[in-house]
Amino acid sequence: MPTETQPLSVLVRASRVIDPASGMDRVADVGVEGGLIKAIDSSLDPASYDKVIEAEGMILAPGLIDPHVHLREPGQVHKEDIESGTLAAVAGGFTTVCCMPNTSPALDSPEMVEFVRSRAQQVGHCRVFCVAAATQGRKGERLAEIGLCLDAGAVGYSDDGDVIESASMMKSVLQAVKATGKCFMQHCQELTLTDGAVMHAGTVSAKLGHRGWPREAEEIIIERDIRLNKAIGCDYHIQHMSSGDSVEIVARAQREGIPVTCEASPHHLLLTHEAIETHGSMAKMNPPLREQSDIDALRQGVADGVITILATDHAPHTNDEKRNVLSEAPFGIIGLESALGLYHKALVETGCIGWPKLIELLTINPARLCGLDSMGLGSISVGGAADLTLIDPDCSWTLGESDLVGKSRNTPFLGWTMGTRSVMTIVGGKIRNERAFSSVV
Ligand code: DOR
């Protein structure tokens, strides 16, 4: 991590401390020293701390965790790298990110997992953990070095960006990952249904004359994998869920006791396929934006506890690439800097969930998915890691170019006004991002 002068101890005073892991939700002072939480009390002595933050009216949450980001290093560092991606993360309130293996070369060996770990230690602004590829080169043909990647520190496995196409390979992956005790994260895309498709199959694709990408492409893979996993019992996780009917499929499996979790991304909770007409390739992602009924079902899935994790799928691409015609432009948008405000808009402002639940979906739940809770991440407790996010729950700000501190600008959310924002990100006791805010006194 970068070295600069930092206060040795920090006191965050009188904020609403929300820690879903322990059920804490009360106004308190939180003291930080030596990278750890030193004390939580209704009143701590400010004279004992080097820096005192008057945070009345703010929310103090465990540091936010994003289990699904693309940092592009190695291989595509013109789009993002570990330094710039983690800068974007702390700007958005994230203290931990888990990076996907679709780099070049792929993160499919212990050497590559170790590369990410040591690079993050040198230049990272927040914690970075590696989700290693499940198959060699993410080609879906031969198992990767799954056990050795675990020893090197992988916190999960995925071929994200690509589905594991073959059912037989998928079975082997579930068995191999089950043996590690980690999770497998699937990119659910049936390939014959999506060949040449660039957007959701619906009225807009028909109007614009684009090949459509049906919901069933996602649902079929989820159904298949759940069936395969029934006898195996691996922790199976669905990435970037886009179809409303997928929620029902997952809910059924959960009722049967099959281990399956799923995540939703800001764009799938807020935008429909119509965004392609206004934003072109800035609204092109994999899986595609769908319809209002899907948004409603995803939000309901969050409210009902079927979807327990939020993840940005931060996918940086250059403006040049995104300026290509829709069929040629790459899939994906960035998300780290704007995620918190957008999740709040989609889920809290609509009355689906309240703040404690939102924080749970962004902290302890992703921590548990990736086994980070056993490292003390995702919660606030005395003696635990001082990873904290201070949030202004009631402000108004508009996403502009200057808020995007990563290398890429590919987002359809520029110009959107949001009602909440992280104002300070503390990683291991060090202040990584601080913006002016006015405490309610
Ligand atoms: O839109 C996406 N972009 N979806 C993915 O699964 C991969 C990602 C990327 O790497 O650009």
Query: What is residue 3's predicted lDDT score, i.e. its pLDDT?
Result: 55
Q: Please check whether residues 122 and 51 belong to one and the same domain.
A: no
Q: Please check whether residues 68 and 52 belong to one and the same domain.
A: no
Query: What is residue 144's predicted lDDT score, i.e. its pLDDT?
Result: 98
CB atoms within 10 A of CB 332: 24
Name the residue of 66, 76, 286 whose CB sits within 8 Å of the most ligand 1 atoms, as the mutation to test its pocket: 286
Instruction: Tell me if 63 CB under 6 Å of ligand 1.
Output: no
Q: Please check whether residues 228 and 300 belong to one and the same domain.
A: yes
Answer for the pair 355, 348: CB distance below 8 angstroms, yes or no. Answer: yes
Query: What is residue 439's predicted lDDT score, i.e. its pLDDT?
Result: 75
Q: What's the length of the chain?
A: 441
Cα 342 to averaged position of ligand 1 atoms, centre (Å)? 19
Residue 440 lies in a domain: no
Q: Residue 167 corresponds to which tokens in the numbers above?
A: 């059912």
Q: Please check whether residues 214 and 279 belong to one and the same domain.
A: yes
Query: What is residue 1's predicted lDDT score, i.e. its pLDDT?
Result: 53
Please tell me the distance from the alpha carbon of residue 148 to that of residue 351, in angstroms, as a whole number.
45
Number of structural domains in the chain: 2
Residue 1 lies in a domain: no
Please tell me the distance from the alpha carbon of residue 432 to that of residue 189, in angstroms, as a whole number.
37
Please give the full DSSP string across 212-250, using - where no structure is assigned. Answer: EE-THHHHHHHHHHHHHHTTT--EEEE-S---HHHHHHH
Residue 257 lies in a domain: yes
Please tell me the distance from the alpha carbon of residue 379 to that of residue 364, in angstroms, as a whole number.
6
Q: Please check whether residues 31 and 175 belong to one and the same domain.
A: no
What letter would DSSP give residue 155? -
pLDDT by position in tens, the chain (length 441): 555 689 889 999 999 999 999 999 999 999 999 999 999 999 999 999 999 999 999 999 999 999 999 999 999 999 999 999 999 999 999 999 999 999 999 999 999 999 999 999 999 999 999 999 999 999 999 999 999 999 999 999 999 999 999 999 999 999 999 999 999 999 999 999 999 999 999 999 999 999 999 999 999 999 999 999 999 999 999 999 999 999 999 999 999 999 999 999 999 999 999 999 999 999 999 999 999 999 999 999 999 999 999 999 999 999 999 999 999 999 999 999 999 999 999 999 999 999 999 999 999 999 999 999 999 999 999 999 999 999 999 999 999 999 999 999 999 999 999 999 999 999 999 999 999 887 765
Q: Which residues pair with 388 in a beta bridge?
A: 62, 426
Query: What is residue 7's predicted lDDT score, i.e. its pLDDT?
Result: 85
Q: Please check whether residues 33 and 177 belong to one and the same domain.
A: no
Residue 101's identity, in one-letter code, is P
Cα 188 to averaged position of ligand 1 atoms, centre (Å)? 12
Residue 81 lies in a domain: yes
CA 132 to chain centre: 16
Cα 159 to averaged position of ligand 1 atoms, centre (Å)? 11
Query: Would residue 313 show up in a list of annotated catalytic residues for this protein?
Result: yes
Closest alpha carbon to 99 in 62, 129, 61, 126 = 129
Q: Please check whether residues 305 and 368 belong to one and the same domain.
A: yes
Residue 86 lies in a domain: yes
Instruction: Please report where in the chains the tokens 């080169």 appear, as a residue.
Output: 137
Answer for the pair 301, 247: CB distance below 8 angstroms, yes or no. Answer: yes
CA 23 to chain centre: 22
Q: Which of 375, 392, 410 is the last residue of a domain?
A: 375
Q: Please check whether residues 176 and 315 belong to one and the same domain.
A: yes
Cα 317 to averaged position of ligand 1 atoms, centre (Å)? 10
Q: Please check whether residues 164 and 257 belong to one and the same domain.
A: yes
Query: What is residue 309's predicted lDDT score, i.e. its pLDDT?
Result: 99
Domain harbouring 240, CATH code: 3.20.20.140
Residue 204's identity, in one-letter code, is V
Name the residue of 331, 333, 334 whose CB sits within 8 Å of the most ligand 1 atoms, as the mutation to test its pocket: 331
Q: Three-state DSSP class for 133?
A: coil
Please tell me the distance from the alpha carbon of residue 193 to that of residue 429, in angstroms, as a whole number.
48
Please tell me the distance from the alpha carbon of residue 53 to that of residue 67, in angstroms, as a whole number.
29
Ligand 1 atom nearest to 187, measured from its CA: 6
Residue 439 lies in a domain: no
Decide: pTM greater than 0.85: yes
Domain harbouring 422, CATH code: 2.30.40.10
Q: Which of 357, 375, 393 is the last residue of a domain?
A: 375
Q: Please check whether residues 115 and 206 belong to one and the same domain.
A: yes
Q: Where are the alpha helices (DSSP H) in 54-213?
A: 82-91, 110-123, 146-152, 167-180, 191-194, 203-208
CB atoms within 10 A of CB 92: 30
Please tell me the distance from the alpha carbon of residue 359 to that of residue 133, in angstroms, as a whole number.
28
Instruction: Tell me if 318 CB under 6 Å of ligand 1.
Output: no
Compute the radius of gyration of the chain from its Cα atoms. Answer: 21
Ligand 1 atom nearest to 285, measured from its CA: 1
Residue 263's identity, in one-letter code, is E
Q: Three-state DSSP class for 56?
A: coil
Q: Which domain holds residue 427?
A: 9-60+384-434
Residue 4 lies in a domain: no
Cα 308 to averaged position of ligand 1 atoms, centre (Å)? 21
Query: What is residue 14's predicted lDDT score, i.e. its pLDDT?
Result: 98
Instruction: Tell me if 70 CB under 6 Å of ligand 1.
Output: yes
Ligand 1 atom nearest to 102, measured from its CA: 10
Q: Please check whether residues 366 and 343 belong to one and the same domain.
A: yes
Q: Which residues pair with 29 in a beta bridge?
A: 41
Q: Which residues pair with 52 in a beta bridge?
A: 11
Q: Please check whether residues 55 and 134 belong to one and the same domain.
A: no
Q: Which of 347, 375, 403 is the last residue of a domain?
A: 375
Active-site residue, selected from the candidate residues 66, 313, 373, 387:
313
